[in-house]
Structure 1
Amino acid sequence: MDLPIDEQSGRRRRGLLIVLSSPSGAGKSTISRMLLESDSTITMSISATTRPIRPGEQDDVDYHFVSDAKFDAMIAAGDFVEWAPVFGHRYGTPKVPVKDALRDGRDILFDIDWQGTQQLHSAMGEDLVRIFLLPPSLAELERRLHQRGTDSGEVIGDRMSRAAGEISHWAEYDYVLVNSETESCLADVRAIVAAERLKRSRQAGLVTFVRDLVGTRGAA
C-alpha cells in the first residue's frame, strides 16, 4: 500500500506517533481534544482499560472496556505495545492498530502517562514524539483539579500527591511545554507536530526523489 502524501512536503511519509503526557489536571486531555479538532489527519489511539465505563462514554469509541481476565489474556498474547496500572485500573494500547497506522502513513495521538510512554518508546522509538505538559505551578494544578468538578477531595489529594512523581519524568520526553495558556500551548504542540512530520527519516522515498532530482541535471 502506498503511503499518503504529506500536505506540507508533497511527499509520502511514515505515520507519526504523538504522545501527550502530564500530571492529572495539567491540560493534556484539553490539548489533545483541541489538536484533534484542528487537524483531521490525526486520530486518537483507543486504549483498552479495566476501569468501569462512565456515563456518556461508548465502548470501542472512548475506550475498549474489558474485564481483568480479558486484559490478562491480551498481555499473555502480546497484544499490547504498552500497558500500565493507573489509579487502580489498567490501561493498554493494542499493537495492531498502531502498526497499521504507521504503515499507512497515519498519525496517532496518545494520552498516556510516563510508564506507557517508556514502553511505547522501547517498542516504537523512531516513530514516536514525546511531549510533556507542565502546569505553571502546583497551586494552579490543584485549582484546575477542583475547577473541573469531577473528583472528590480525597481523589484530588491523591492526584496531587502523585503529581511530583509524574513531573520527575519530564526529562524523558523530547519536548516539554508549560501549559500556562491553552491556545498558546496548542500552537506550540502543532508546531512540534509540523516539524516532526518534515524530518528526513520520516519521508519515504526521499532518497529516490533526490537521486532523480540530480539525475535530471545530468540528463540535461
Structure 2
Amino acid sequence: MNKKTTPGKVIVIVAPSGAGKTTIAQRLLKEYPKIEFSVSATTRKPRKDEKDGEDYYFLSDEEFDRRIKNGEFLEWEHYSGNRYGTLQSEVDKLVESGYFPLLDVEVKGALNVQRLYNSGAISIFIEPPSLEELKNRLSKRGSETESSLQQRLKRAEMEIKYADRFDYSVVNDDLEEAYTEVKNIIEPFITD
C-alpha cells in the first residue's frame, strides 16, 4: 500500500537585493528537509559553476517566449537585461510530492503567486532596517558600479512600498533575529 503524501504549500520570500533574503532562504533549506528550492528559468547565460536544472533552467529567448505563450509561468519578469520566471510545473511537482517549494521571486511575481495559490501559500517580505543600511550592504559586496547601486536602491524603494501586501514582514536588522522570526512564521505552516 502506497502512503499518500500530503500536498505541501508554497513559501514565498521577497526582499530588495541586499536585504538578506538569500541567506535566510539557504538556512531554511538546510534546516528543513521538506522545504525545496523551486528552480527558476532565465534567459541569462550560466555563470561559471552554475548547472542547468539545478541553479536555473537556462532558456533561449525563443524558448522563454514559447513558454510564456503556453502559459507555463506562474510569474516572470525582466531584470538587468534578462528574463526570469517560475515554471508552474516545477512548483506543482514539489507541492504534489509533499514538499514546500521555496520561491525567491520579485515583488510583482510574488503577489501573483500569492493570488494563484491563495491559502496554499505564505508570503514573507524581508525588509532592510533602512535604505542607508541597504546601500552599505550592497556597497560592501564590491560587485556594484555606482550606476547599478543607484538602480538597486531605486528598485528597493519601490519594492518596500509593497511590504504591507504580504502575509508577513520581517525587518532584517540582525540576521539571527530575522531568521528566528521567519522560522517562527513558517513552522506552523509546514507542520499543520
**TM-score, normalisation: structure 2:** 0.93
Q: Distance in 2 between matches of 1:173 and 1:120?
A: 11
**Residue in structure 2 matched with residue 130 of structure 1 by the alignment:** 123
Letter of the 1:22 counterpart:
A
Q: Is 1:46–2:39 an aligned residue pair?
A: yes
**Residue in structure 2 matched with residue 84 of structure 1 by the alignment:** 77
Query: Using a 3 Å threshold, how does the CA distance of structure 1 residues 88 and 2 change in structure 2: closer, same or farther?
Result: farther
Any gaps of 5 or more consecutive residues in structure 1?
A: 5-12, 200-220
Q: Which of residues 178, 185, 188 is equivalent to 1:195? A: 188
8 Å CA contact 1:3–1:14 kept in 2: the answer is: no
8 Å CA contact 1:3–1:105 kept in 2: the answer is: no
Letter of the 1:178 counterpart:
V
Q: Distance in 1 between matches of 2:104 and 2:173?
A: 19
Letter of the 1:33 counterpart:
Q
**Residue in structure 2 matched with residue 65 of structure 1 by the alignment:** 58
Q: Distance in 2 between matches of 1:3 and 1:193?
A: 23
Q: Is 1:121–2:150 an aligned residue pair?
A: no
Corresponding residue SS for 2:18:
coil
Q: Distance in 2 between matches of 1:38 and 1:2?
A: 24
Letter of the 1:158 counterpart:
Q
Q: Is 1:74–2:67 an aligned residue pair?
A: yes
Instruction: Return structure 1 stretches of 4+ with deviation > 6 angstroms.
Output: none
**Percent of aligned positions that are identical:** 36
Q: What root-mean-square deviation, in Å, do the aligned CA atoms of Structure 1 and Structure 2 show? A: 1.5
Letter of the 1:20 counterpart:
I
Any gaps of 5 or more consecutive residues in structure 2?
A: none
**Residue in structure 2 matched with residue 181 of structure 1 by the alignment:** 174
User: What is the CA-CA distance between 1:2 and the residue it aligns to?
Assistant: 4.1
| Larger gyration radius, structure 1 or structure 2 | 1
